[in-house]
Amino acid sequence: MSQENEYGAGQIQVLEGLQAVRKRPAMYIGSTDTRGLHHLVYEVVDNSIDEALAGYCDDIDVTIHEDGSVSVADDGRGIPVDTHEQYDRPAVEVIMTVLHAGGKFDNKSYQVSGGLHGVGVSVVNALSSTLEVEIKRDGALWRHEFERGEPKPDGFEKVRDLEEGEERGSSIRFWPDDDIFETTDFEFSTLANRLRELAFLNSGVEITLTDERESEAVETEDGDTEPRFERFRYDGGIREFVEYLNETKTPLHDDVVYFDDEEEGIQVELAMQATDELQGSIHSFANNINTREGGSHLTGFKTALTRVVNDYANSNGLADEIDGNLKGEDVREGLTAVISVKHPDPQFEGQTKTKLGNSEVRGIVESAVHEGLGTYFEENPDTAAMVVSKAVEAAKARQAAKKAEELTRRKSALESTSLPGKLADCQTRDPAEAELFVVEGDSAGGSAKQGRDRKFQAILPLRGKILNVEKHRLDRILENNEVRALITAIGAGIGEEFDIEEARYQKVILMTDADVDGAHIRTLLLTLLYRHMKPLIEAGYVYAAQPPLYRVRYRGETYDAMTEAERERIIEEVCDGNPTQVQRFKGLGEMNPDQLWESTMDPENRILKRITVEDAAAADRMFSVLMGDAVGPRKQFIKDHAGDAEWVDI
């Protein structure tokens, strides 16, 4: 046997300490792209929030520094600095360097916590080139420094005694390791969305976010500049969260339905408000963690909500106009709700915690919502009537569509086994290999069909702009031929019946022109996918193609540029200021098949942008602003962000 293929004791590697984290970082933070980068901040902030939940912290300050580092400071109890008996080292060093070391396993120091695995801050340390900790505790200011997870020699020191009345607390500052991460550039808005969410979920806690980077400075009224800054504090908690989500919508009742309950040490909190929108917006949290994939608490809420609304409607004769009971989709139409549970021992799926698995939570939430919401409806009949009437309206539309003979019923639109005639399908039947290009226009579709690799690339040209699904119910949406063609091509259904396991492609690539109309068409398609096929986006199956705007020719070579600035850089640096030819692509249809393949479709050369949903609440709100009926918020958004536009093609 050759030495290369030997497999024995000598080939067994043991990764000790934080080596495993640096070797396989995605196992601990999900990815090493921008999502994983921001997850580092969340892990540190979660520790401060846990101090707030325990009743010891009121203020949390997050700062993005000019040198690319981030610091998180709080006024909690401070990380312990006394000697840990088992390791004979300062406790802070153990917490920072040993996985699964923390004070959240026995419910003595923390009754409720989001960071239960005890790996959060040690993972941040492992994935940082440098990390500094400052602690105000036990009458002194202490400091400890680390490099790539390892404590610096003599890095732990007592800096000075605390002055009388000086606040306690901890501050952690870290520099993400650029050997690990694809990017180390933090986005202010991404952090702001999460910190705002945490402030809503923890009423009374004040969280500030400051960006000291010169590139992010904002201009003051007198012409000076100052660091970008936001402060978040919501004494109304998740009631204010619902009001915030509904700022761009029209609520059907003024008051936000709210109640909380506690059973077996599990706290349940609910806030909801019905609106005149067609899209619902329901967000679930467990121990402050955004459970984007839901779980037992969300299932319990949905079940109880449908039952309570049906009970109230039937006992008060409010649903006599419909056949049978209201369905869950009827009750949730246009409903904005936030359900938050706090559990002493939550079971999450994976370290990134996107789904709550505790089976007992479903019954507890179901019972709490049934009792709390039932009582609220009895005490507030006007609000109850509004919620029920909205659900009845949705049910009537659903039942009318079901009875219609046209192809407006969901079933008839999706039962057809034949693929749309305009689809040029690929040869492979393996979804993991198959790509579907959704192309704007027949002209570009023709070029794409000729230029593609038919083994794994399918082409679906769409004519014109599809329906804005934000403003229509599903029965109306299914009347649109282009929408039906896309649904049938993907093959996984739509809405409540969507099954991602049936998806025929694991890459759905939106390929539209690099102009205003192309951006609008892409937004319409994304609205459809987000509202009615959301698991596709959550699974990372949706991409936007990035066709070049310019092609520069020089000495027999071609160079593609995505922006005007990139075009100028190529001309200056590559062509010595003298290109042979510069071609401006007005649209995909102007490219011949070879050009389209080389620049936009060839896996070796193309640039694809994966569409992700980091913050479902922020995404919900943004789709309502951009695609809803309210004009005012959309005009304000354009006014606020016009300066951010990289190019305007008019």
Catalytic residues: 440, 513, 515, 517
Give dist(CA 239, CA 506) in Å, integer. Answer: 38
Residue 615 is assigned to a ligand binding site: no
Residue with tokens 């909190």: 269
CA angle 402, 408, 411 (to 5 degrees): 65
List the beta bridge partners of residue 71: 63, 173
Three-class DSSP labels, 554-580? ECCEEEEECCHHHHHHHHHHCCCCCCC
Residue 440 is assigned to a ligand binding site: yes
Tokens of 411: 């079933």
Count of alpha carbons within 13 angstroms of residue 294, beta-carbon side: 13
Phi, psi (5° rounding) for residue 47?
A: -65, -40
CA-to-CA separations, 53 to 48, 61, 205, 389, in angstroms, rounded: 9, 16, 9, 39
Q: How many other CB atoms are found less than 10 A from the CB of residue 231?
A: 12
> Treating both helix axes as pointing N-terminal to C-terminal, what angle do 296-315 and 359-379 enclose, rounded to 10 degrees?
30
Distance of CA 559 to the CA centre of its chain: 34
Give dist(CA 512, CA 520) in Å, integer. Answer: 9
Tokens of 223: 């012409």
Tokens of 291: 């459970």
Three-class DSSP labels, 382-412? HHHHHHHHHHHHHHHHHHHHHHCCCCCCHHH
Q: Is 322 helix (H, G, I), strand (E, B) or coil?
A: coil
Residue 59 is assigned to a ligand binding site: no
410-419 own/partner pairs: CB under 8 Å, 24+ apart? 410/474, 410/475, 410/478, 410/494, 410/495, 410/497, 413/478, 413/484, 413/487, 413/488, 414/487, 414/488, 414/493, 414/494, 414/497, 416/488, 419/488, 419/489
Sequence-distant (6+) residues with CB within 8 A of 280 are 332, 333, 334, 335, 336, 337
Give dist(CA 565, CA 571) in Å, integer. Answer: 10
Q: Is 344 helix (H, G, I), strand (E, B) or coil?
A: coil
Closest by Cα among 488, 321, 504 to 396: 321
Tokens of 607: 């640039």
Closest by Cα among 243, 123, 115 to 177: 123
Residue with tokens 């802070």: 92
Tokens of 215: 């590139």
Three-class DSSP labels, 267-278? EEEEEEEEECCC
> Treating both helix axes as pointing N-terminal to C-terminal, what angle do 631-641 and 616-627 enclose, rounded to 10 degrees?
110
- Please provide the distance, in angstroms rounded to a whole number, between the alpha carbons at the two ends of the chain: 68
Q: Give the amino acid at 569.
A: R
What are the binding residues for Mg(2+)? 440, 513, 515
